[in-house]
Amino acid sequence: MLVYKYPERTSWPSLLQRPVMDTAALETNVGNILADVKQNGDAAVRKYAQQFDKVQLQMLEVTSAEFIHAAAVLDADLKKAILQAKQNIELFHKAQQEAGKIIETMPGVQCWRKPVAIEKVGLYIPGGSAPLFSTILMLGIPAMIAGCKEIVLCTPSNAAGEVHPAVLFAAEQVGLDRVFKIGGVQAIAAMAYGTESVPKVHKIFGPGNQYVTCAKQLVNKSGVAIDMPAGPSEVAVLADETCIPSFVAADLLSQAEHGPDSQVLLVTTAGEIIEEVQKEVAAQLALLPRKDIAAQALENSRIILVKDTEEAMALLNAYAPEHLIVACKDDIGIADAVINAGSVFLGNYSPESAGDYASGTNHTLPTNGYATAYSGVSLDSFVKKITFQRLTKEGLQQIGATIETMAAAEGLDAHKNAVTIRLKYK
Catalogue the active-site residues. Answer: 322-323
Closest residue by Cα to residue 118 from 85, 142, 134, 97: 142
**Residue 415 assigned ligand-binding role:** yes
User: What residues contact 389, with CB distance under 8 A and at least 6 apart?
Assistant: 109, 110, 111, 112
**Residue 410 assigned ligand-binding role:** yes
> Which DSSP string do the residues of 313-325 spell out, in sequence order?
HHHHHHH--SEEE
**Residue 359 assigned ligand-binding role:** no
Helices (H), 286-412: 291-299, 309-319, 331-335, 352-357, 393-409
Cβ–Cβ < 8 Å for 102, 112? yes
**Residue 186 assigned ligand-binding role:** yes
**Residue 11 assigned ligand-binding role:** no
**Residue 61 assigned ligand-binding role:** no
Using the CB atoms, write b or e for 190-228: b if 16+ within 10 Å. bbbbbbebbeebbbbbbbbbbbbbbbbbbbeeeebbbbb
Cα–Cα distance for residue pair 369/341, rounded to 1 Å: 9
**Residue 389 assigned ligand-binding role:** no
Cα–Cα distance for residue pair 105/102, rounded to 1 Å: 9
Kindly report the number of other CB atoms within 10 A of residue 270's CB atom.
14
Residue type, position 312, single letter: A
**Residue 258 assigned ligand-binding role:** yes
Q: Mark the binding-site residues for Zn(2+), compressed into ranges.
A: 255, 258, 356, 415
Q: Mark the binding-site residues, compressed into ranges.
A: 124, 186, 209, 233, 255, 258, 323, 356, 410, 415
Q: Mark the binding-site residues for substrate, compressed into ranges.
A: 233, 255, 258, 323, 356, 410, 415
Q: Mark the binding-site residues for NAD(+), compressed into ranges.
A: 124, 186, 209
